[in-house]
Amino acid sequence: MDDLEKFLNPSAWEIDVNKDEKSITSTIVDVELDSIPVSFDGDDCMTIDVSELDYIKLDYCSLDKMSELLFKADEAISKNPFGYMDE
């Protein structure tokens, strides 16, 4: 399923640091191959935008990937791209 997931969602599971908008975002994919936007606010958490969905379905692999993604976002934030640490 990873090949199909990557084909349908090429930028999924990658961190996007947008300095102009001062945001760190990504897209996760559930087991039904729904693309779900997420954001990171520097609080060691991930905000999952499910406003366009009735539900999301995650398995262990999805949860592992989410954990890795949160770690990568925290690393990006720790490099202080937008002054998170200055607040």
Rounded Cα distance between 34 and 57, Å, is 9
Query: Are the beta carbons of 34 and 53 closer than 8 angstroms?
Result: yes
Domain borders along the chain are: 2-78
Q: No. of H helices and E strands in the chain?
A: 2, 4
Digit-by-digit pLDDT tens for the chain (87 residues) are 578 888 888 899 999 988 888 889 999 999 999 999 999 988 889 999 999 999 999 999 999 999 999 999 998 888 865 665 444
pLDDT at 82: 64
pLDDT at 78: 83
Query: Are the beta carbons of 16 and 22 closer than 8 angstroms?
Result: no
Q: Which residues pair with residue 35 across a beta bridge? A: 29
CA dist 22 → 27, 30, 74, 81, 83 (Å)? 17, 26, 15, 8, 9
pLDDT at 41: 86
pLDDT at 83: 64
